[in-house]
């Protein structure tokens, strides 16, 4: 993976799951990782883990739904490390709910975190990328950016919109040196998936193992994706070899969705 060493890489939602795995992978390739999330203690424990492995990580709190926090984050990162060169918009929530039962504030929160958070971070960190004529924005979307699952109307809507933003921004940035892409995972082995399996188990009375089996069964490979596999794809999209890849939404789902 050429071109990752020394790069300043910001990962939102870096305290666990896919974000943690992406942060570890970039640090292992010599990038300077900025880990953000809402809880300093959990960010620090991931940063310590990365330091123990010989990597560089700076833990800084930021709730992506507050633009002033994203702007303050930018000021801190720029003064401590320099401009962010790779932005991984990973922070996300995926609460399941039937459309009619869903509380309005759940709808609003999902859109605020998944879509507006991605918008704020892109808006705040993009100008420095344009100024240096190089940058990468990688949005962790989902296969529900392309297809829909029942009881996920807010989540599905937010991820379809993230994909729309990815494509529109990629076009605007096409000659700026900045690429904008989305990664679309199927079910990944993280807390988010486990929590949804527990919810599914409660609703159906089938048990968590059975719910996980159903999730695995939705993939032709009959398995969950490991967070490290998503991280490998993020590394590739950030690397020199991906200069010509922009506006794309790459599925990593064992063949479940083929569009």
Residue 79 CB-density burial (10 A; 0-12 exposed, 13-18 middle, 19+ buried):
exposed
- Listed ranges 62-70, 120-128, 174-182, 240-248: which one lies at the site for ligand NAD (CB under 6 A): 62-70
- Listed ranges 24-32, 169-177, 188-196, 232-240: which one lies at the site for ligand NAD (CB under 6 A): 188-196
Q: How far is the CB of 155 from ligand NAD (least distance, A)?
A: 7
Exactly one of 153, 156, 193, 251 binds ligand NAD (CB under 6 A); that residue is 193
Query: How does DSSP classify residue 139?
Result: E
Q: How far is the CB of 2 from ligand NAD (least distance, A)?
A: 26
138 binds ligand NAD (CB under 6 A): no
- Listed ranges 100-108, 120-128, 166-174, 190-198: which one lies at the site for ligand NAD (CB under 6 A): 190-198
Determine the Cα–Cα distance for residues 47 and 5; give it in Å rounded to an integer: 18
35 binds ligand NAD (CB under 6 A): no
Q: How far is the CB of 252 from ligand NAD (least distance, A)?
A: 9
Q: What is the SS3 assignment for 22?
A: helix
Count CB neighbours of 154 within 10 A: 22
Segment 141 to 180, residues that bind ligand NAD, using CB under 6 A: 142
Match 């310590």 to its residue by tokens: 48
19 binds ligand NAD (CB under 6 A): yes
155 among known catalytic residues? yes
17 binds ligand NAD (CB under 6 A): yes
- Side by side, the strands of the sheet bearing 8-12 are 56-61, 32-37, 8-12, 86-89, 135-140, 178-185, 249-252
Q: What distances in angstroms separate CA 119 from CA 21, 192, 227, one per listed residue?
A: 23, 22, 24
Determine the Cα–Cα distance for residues 23 and 39; give it in Å rounded to an integer: 16
95 binds ligand NAD (CB under 6 A): no
Determine the Cα–Cα distance for residues 229 and 139; give it in Å rounded to an integer: 15
Q: How far is the CB of 232 from ligand NAD (least distance, A)?
A: 15
3 binds ligand NAD (CB under 6 A): no
Segment 212 to 251, residues that bind ligand NAD, using CB under 6 A: none
Assign residue 89 a region: left if phi > 0, alpha if psi is -120 to 50, beta otherwise? beta
92 binds ligand NAD (CB under 6 A): yes
The active-site residue, picked from 119, 120, 155, 187, is 155
Say how many Å lie between the first and final Cα of the chain, rounded: 27
63 binds ligand NAD (CB under 6 A): yes
Q: Which residues of 208-233 are buried (b: 16+ CB within 10 A; e: fewer)?
A: eeebbeebbeebeeeebbebebbbeb
Q: Give me the active site residues, please.
A: 155
Residues that bind ligand NAD (CB under 6 A): 12-13, 15-19, 37-38, 63-65, 90-94, 113, 117, 140, 142, 185, 187-188, 190-193
């Amino acid at each position: 993976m050429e071109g990752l060493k020394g790069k300043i890489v910001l990962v939102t939602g870096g305290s666990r799951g896919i974000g943690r795995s992406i942060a570890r992978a970039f640090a292992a390739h010599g990038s300077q990782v900025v880990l953000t999330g809402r809880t300093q203690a959990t960010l620090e424990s991931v940063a310590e883990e990365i330091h123990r492995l010989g990597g560089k990580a700076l833990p800084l709190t930021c709730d992506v739904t507050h633009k002033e926090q994203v702007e303050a984050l930018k000021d801190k990162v720029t003064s401590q490390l320099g401009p962010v060169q790779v932005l991984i918009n990973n922070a996300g929530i995926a609460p399941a709910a039937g459309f009619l039962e869903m509380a309005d504030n759940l709808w609003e929160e999902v859109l605020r975190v998944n879509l507006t958070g991605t918008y704020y971070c892109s808006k705040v960190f993009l100008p420095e990328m344009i100024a240096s004529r190089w940058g990468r924005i990688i949005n962790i979307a989902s296969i529900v950016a392309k297809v829909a699952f029942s009881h996920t109307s807010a989540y599905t809507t937010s991820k379809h919109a993230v994909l729309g933003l990815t494509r529109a921004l990629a076009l605007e940035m096409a000659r700026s040196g900045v690429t904008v892409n989305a990664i679309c995972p199927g079910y990944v082995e993280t807390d988010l998936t486990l929590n949804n399996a527990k919810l599914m188990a409660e609703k159906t009375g089938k048990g968590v193992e059975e719910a996980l089996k159903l999730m695995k069964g939705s993939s032709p490979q009959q398995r969950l994706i490991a967070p490290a596999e998503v991280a490998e794809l993020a590394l590739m999209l950030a690397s020199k070899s991906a200069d010509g890849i922009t506006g794309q939404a790459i599925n990593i789902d064992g063949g479940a969705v083929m569009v």
